[in-house]
Amino acid sequence: MRFFTIGALSLSLLYNSLSYAGVYTMSETRSDTTQATVVLSEASVLGVGFTELPLVSSPKSVAVMLPSEWSGATSISEALEFVPGVDVRTRGAWGVQTDISIRGGSFEQTALRIDGVRWSAPHTGHHLMNIPIDPEDLGHVEVVRSGSGPWSGVGAFAGGISMQTRVDPGTNASFTAEIGSFNWTRLRANTQARTGDIQHSISLSRAATDGYIPNSDMEISRLFWGARMNRGRSQWKSLLAAESKSFGAQNFYSSAYPTQYEETIAAVAQLSWSLQKGNWSASAAGHGRFHTDRFELYREGFDWYELTDDGQYVAPTLFASPDTAASWYQGANLHRSMVGDLNGQLSWLGKSVMWTAAVDARSESIRSNRLGLPVDGESNYDYEDQRLNVDAYVSSKYFGLEDRLAVTATLAMNENDRFGSSFLPALNARMSFGEVDQLVVFGSAGRSVRHPSFTDLYYTLGGAIGSEDLKSEYADQGEIGARWNLTAAASTHQYSIETTRFIRQGRNLIDWVRFDGSDVYQATNVAEVDFFGGDISMLYQRADAPDQLYLRSARMGAAWLEANRVASGFTSNYVFDYMRSKYDLTMNFGTSGPVDFSVRGSAQNRNIQSAIGDSPFTHLWGFDVNLNGNDGSALRWRASVRMDNIFDIQFADRGQVLQPGRMVRFGLTFESAK
């Protein structure tokens, strides 16, 4: 019943709330295992004004993921683990809770855009990746490895992730069943259908596991509906999605209170419109995101902690007297947050200049029994806060030298009714050489801002103290790079190499620190920290399919990062806990028969070593094998095997949150032919 309740809640959101998105066009790549190879120069990426650009012409460092890289993943965060320059830190497995960082930024400094709409999680960035969308429902995923605050708004501090949902033309249906380690089970059904001018995609899934250690069990249910409609020169996109999670959170936020538990619900609704006529293009969108969180510092329930008549939470133990929770613990933290967003954008393309203007108005609010200012209200939610954030920019893009040169200047303003005004200028440039842009040299510079979350401002419990005096954090950053397209004109082998160098000067960076001699972590601003580093990535794809084992695609990457200072006099939870170096490899192989398989690996070295594991590097390796079948009827099938952490390495992404060892999943999918 609870799952269908959140579906009804999403329908209500679509009717009652509008929000914004800067809409931009992207090609929609199929995400099935047997995808066609995407020509490098045709892969679309984020451009200024959110317009479509070919990959080789991007003025920023960008990684466009191939569908084979997320095929078989239980969440998109599993696939992002192997993208160069991206730091994926999980609490628990299977996408239960994931923090995404780019180039040393914190999880609060990464923007998320889905179908052109920026999503936000004002309660805490830990919940930003509570995405109610299965990986199979995604058709395009890219990572922008550079701050994009003037265009993407608050949150695009160190980089961003952009996704497009998948809505295929025609009519078909599919069903997937999975089993695996730790009593993993997953069921998913999807149907693609057309009614009049509207193409629909509807998915329903449920996954569960008993967990790999005590108190690591999990259940996730998701509902997704996406639609597309083209009418004349206009295109409409809509999305309605909901997710319910419940999971044991062993050691998630504090090892002093290990038996934690959490339940979250995320419901999102959005509608976007775009129009192109002559030299003019316009877009607008509405977006609403409702999120609830119940966090128990002491897990409640049978065989866990139960409230006794004297007002104490007590849990039974096998060999000792019952364990009593801390006397100050008064029960679960309860939070409800709501985001409503409206956006519009207008562009005009002249002979050598394109002008773009856009505005984004976003309302963020929270009701809680912990966070906000005291109010007279309903029981359990006697604190609240809200804020209005407006982003606006004007951009001019100049084309010259037969379009080989492109220079974009942007003036942006951020206005927040609590944190005031921020001026965010930016400059991008790229120059291409060769007949088919064999070499592109690019550079960018700009400023980004991020405001404190409600947790940063107000949380005070269990040895953690927020601060209402926190200031917004800023970054001035610059990047230079080069991209080589080494593909010959008639070759079926496609090669691309990209290398960049960057610097990010952070000011008033928000961190949770424990000063020497103290047992309390508190939110504070770290005055100045400069990060500098670089990365190099290589991408290979093959367009033909020979009658033998062959390498279909491969991505290799290396990234490194340093800071100009260390944490002195305090222990840092976020700012100085960054990835110093990271090496990634993914390869997808095809055969002359129905079998294809992938191999992936990552070696990671952190600035602050985990409390678990005796090696400075974490080595993660995995593989997938797929067997595709078609007996000539209207039904196709695919069997899959996925193994993660094949060398059974013991490690923790954060603190003492032990990650699972070797995991195996088996899947079987049936799909009706179109």
With helix as H, strand as E and coil as C, how does 413-456 read? Answer: EEEECCCEEEEEEEEEEEEEECCCCCEEEEEEEEEEEECCCHHH
Instruction: Compute the distance between CA of residue 606 and CA of residue 615 in angstroms, rounded to an integer.
Output: 11
Place of tokens 């309302």: 363
Q: Are residues 205 and 320 in the same domain?
A: no
| Residue that terminates a domain, selected from 331, 354, 379 | 331
CATH number at 615 reads 2.40.170.20
Q: Are residues 519 and 387 in the same domain?
A: yes
Q: Are residues 170 and 218 in the same domain?
A: yes
Task: Tell me how many domains the chain contains.
Answer: 2
Range of the domain at 620: 2-297+332-672
Q: Are residues 306 and 398 in the same domain?
A: no
Residues in Cβ contact with 357 at an 8 Å cutoff, skipping those fewer than 6 apart: 345, 346, 347, 392, 393, 394, 395
Q: Are residues 195 and 317 in the same domain?
A: no
* Maximal C-alpha separation, the chain: 81
Q: Are residues 12 and 122 in the same domain?
A: yes
CB 275 within 8 A of CB 344: no
For the full predicted model, state whether its pTM sits above 0.85: yes
Q: Name the E strands within 81-233.
A: 86-90, 98-102, 110-114, 117-119, 138-144, 159-165, 172-180, 184-195, 198-209, 218-231
Q: Name the E strands within 278-332.
A: 280-296, 306-307, 313-315, 323-324
Q: Are residues 84 and 129 in the same domain?
A: yes
Q: Are residues 257 and 319 in the same domain?
A: no
As given in the structure block, the two tokens for residue 112 are 């998320």
Using alpha carbons, select from 594, 592, 589, 598 the residue that is nearest to residue 637: 594
- Within 137-237, where are the H helices? 149-152
Task: Supply φ then ψ for residue 637, to 5 degrees.
Answer: -140, 160
Q: Are residues 539 and 423 in the same domain?
A: yes
Q: Are residues 401 and 469 in the same domain?
A: yes
CA 352 to chain centre: 35
Q: Are residues 356 and 318 in the same domain?
A: no
Instruction: Compute the distance between CA of residue 155 and CA of residue 159 in angstroms, rounded to an integer.
Output: 8
| Residue that terminates a domain, selected from 331, 350, 374 | 331
- Average pLDDT of each block of 10 consecutive residues along the chain (674 residues)? 40 35 30 43 50 72 89 90 91 88 92 91 94 94 86 83 91 95 97 94 97 95 97 93 96 90 97 93 96 96 92 86 90 96 93 92 96 85 95 92 91 95 94 86 94 95 90 95 83 90 96 92 94 95 87 95 92 92 95 91 85 65 89 83 92 85 95 78
CA 101 to chain centre: 9
Q: Are residues 485 and 601 in the same domain?
A: yes
